[in-house]
Structure 1
């Protein structure tokens, strides 16, 4: 089979390549996962939690190599370290709530009846993980799936294929059996064939809308449940009563961090007319403090995008918007590392509207459009004028106002005075073309288990 190549955005070289499994080898891997599942589920919950936490602890010990590999694979500057803060926090939280969440809900326990609702592992969980936050997005499903008693097969994005290998290495060295958690390299055809054949009991996919549609087509008629986190075009809304400096700092960081390659990154901003000019001025100054450069340079705050074709999408959106009347406020000359390839200068666009692709289609890069609005009604209408719904960031001084606006926004998460953040105690979910299902929180355990009712009667 043709090897899958990982092209580093740092210098364009082939950083790694792996040969995907044949269909027969992939079927054997899925069969091993299924055979190992009952034994894994039979272990005590405490044992499973301890092994999962030990796997994450071992991953922490690999920090130096992991951070370096992340820079080579997807371009994130090494100054930002790995993804350990979120990995550890999410693992700890899901471990803490596991016993309570997975415990049977007793309806009656008397001399006549014992009635209760239990939660049972689904079986084999298949994770198809993305490259932009390759450890965090995997952990979101991997940790609760293993804790709940499932076995896991992980297929990582080709751009970050070494991440799956590191995760498997860490968990195996910590004592998780090899067949309980397997990392595999698969091509699209083999992936679809396995799903169609009901090789898995749950499929969690994070990626493009097109990829999600392909997953649904493969699973059609199998009744295999799917968790899909797909595209996003997350808005920020700055009300007249917002803290301007805090809004600029958080929203621009949300738009530019990780070269804009964040699932819940800020891709469009609506500012009340009374603050608009000041917000734009401060936003431009903020962006001009960034330094685009080699991710191994300690002074770089912005690295290359993960692939030059991703950067080209953003370049095309910017060029089209400018041709339609948008104004670009950042001079690319301020970012000499922009090479026309993976290294892309950040950009702020004004005079934009929703006829432009840059305001409607996912950019997933360091560009953001800013529009002036006159009131809440206009802002809400514009925020909802999108095929996506992952998060929305509302900037105001009042909880009730933020909640009232949030109730009218078609989104999975409502933020007030923060953005681009994931709270493990809250469900990570979306609506519309962003997908369906949810991870983390107690609902994250519900995604990888099924209810099972017990109605026991004494005669």
Structure 2
């Protein structure tokens, strides 16, 4: 077996290297997780909640180290490196607060003749395959409810963020969660697929590419293992004529460029009413030109490198194809001298774009956004729906009723009004079409990691 190397996009060096587990060792790890799960599930719910919260507290205490490692592993500027911890804590707190009510048996009848109820039971061993772009937030979405509900968890983190999984394991184990109940393991693709195909897990959650999701589905075929899949996205923003222009520019451009555009629900295409179009574009260009591309370890950097050279090349190719088809780039790369043709990529705003261009239809997952002029809500809705993806959509207007009407016609998992690129833990995080299936967070997040069990007891 070959070692898995984590190449830092910051300087191209090997930041970490780990050997994947041999298949037999991986199988043994999962067997230990299964053996430990029953005792974990037998613990009082309050104990499990307290231990999970203590684990997150331990993780939060490591945030300075986490920020440094994120800069080295995937290029996030160190000034933003600890930002995930706020979301980790908010999501943990909410899921902990609703656990007792959500997991409590639903009593249908308790009379002299019958006791009928529906209980929720943990599935068993939950397998989390986490992505590199938000390595803590995305993992926590499933890890926290899974553990609280009484499951054991096996985590496989992305090769680009190998250390994130290790930090999570260290934090949870320091808090007192048994080592076999929460395990971080390093696997290659073949062993991962083999474990899934052998029905080693009772639930698999994967966040990643559409092609990765298809691979997971193929591996699980015939096992009846439930899957949660959050895959690609091409999230739109729509600026109506009555929008607050400055707020729309600030939020949508931040949604397009933050984390070098490497956000699951980042804004990748924007449709602006023709009455605001010119002003929006002018302000958007000024907003982007104020960014500083550079070394993620520099506190002044606001835009770091993309996580890998090949990710940056995909964005370059999409942009070049669009320009060849008539799109106009409005950002002069000379304003971003750190662009090295590799992982460091200058941001770009494109106009004169249309949906024949890859950059407006394929996921970019980088610091590029196309802006189109529209003349009506109907035109904007048609364009927003003209996509194989459906994760979030951001509507900018002062009319909440109209936003709700538009939202009802958009094929998406979440409708935002006057905000973007945000997860509310009280709301289900889900998508449609090629974005995947299933949902996390909210009370529905617990339904993914538990199963219903009915009791029909007749009193004689």
TM-score, normalised to structure 2's length? 0.99
Aligned mates of 1:29, 1:81 — CA distance in 2:
31
1:92-171 equivalences under 5 Å are 92-171=93-172
Aligned mates of 1:244, 1:28 — CA distance in 2:
57
Tell me how far 1:110 sits from its aligned partner. Answer: 1.1
1:34-433 equivalences under 5 Å are 34-82=34-82, 83-433=84-434
Aligned mates of 2:403, 2:448 — CA distance in 1:
29
Tell me how far 1:61 sits from its aligned partner. Answer: 1.1
Aligned mates of 1:123, 1:163 — CA distance in 2:
24
* Equivalent in the alignment of 1:8: 8
The superposition leaves residues 264-319 of structure 1 with CA deviations (integer Å, 9 ceiling, x where unpaired) of 00000000000000000000000000000101111100000001110000000000
Tell me how far 1:81 sits from its aligned partner. Answer: 3.1
Pair 1:27-2:27 in alignment: yes
Look up the SS of the partner of 2:252 in the other structure: helix
Look up the SS of the partner of 1:255 in the other structure: helix
Aligned mates of 1:330, 1:295 — CA distance in 2:
21
The superposition leaves residues 384-416 of structure 1 with CA deviations (integer Å, 9 ceiling, x where unpaired) of 000000000000101110100000000000000
Structure 1 unaligned regions, length at least 5:
none
Look up the SS of the partner of 1:81 in the other structure: helix
The superposition leaves residues 53-110 of structure 1 with CA deviations (integer Å, 9 ceiling, x where unpaired) of 0000000111111110011000001111321110000000000000000001011111
Aligned mates of 1:63, 1:420 — CA distance in 2:
22
TM-score, normalised to structure 1's length? 1.00
| Equivalent residue pairs, number | 459
Aligned mates of 2:405, 2:453 — CA distance in 1:
37
Aligned mates of 1:405, 1:60 — CA distance in 2:
39
- Cα contact 2:426–2:441 (8 A) shared by 1: yes
The superposition leaves residues 109-158 of structure 1 with CA deviations (integer Å, 9 ceiling, x where unpaired) of 11111101110000000000000000000000000000000000000000
Aligned mates of 1:428, 1:171 — CA distance in 2:
24
Aligned mates of 2:377, 2:408 — CA distance in 1:
13
What CA RMSD, in Å, does the superposition of the two structures yield over aligned residues?
Answer: 0.4
- Cα contact 2:40–2:151 (8 A) shared by 1: yes
Tell me how far 1:355 sits from its aligned partner. Answer: 0.4
Aligned mates of 1:399, 1:220 — CA distance in 2:
43
Consecutive aligned runs of 4 or more in structure 1 exceeding 2 Å deviation: none
Structure 2 unaligned regions, length at least 5:
none
Aligned mates of 2:300, 2:368 — CA distance in 1:
21
Aligned mates of 1:118, 1:69 — CA distance in 2:
42
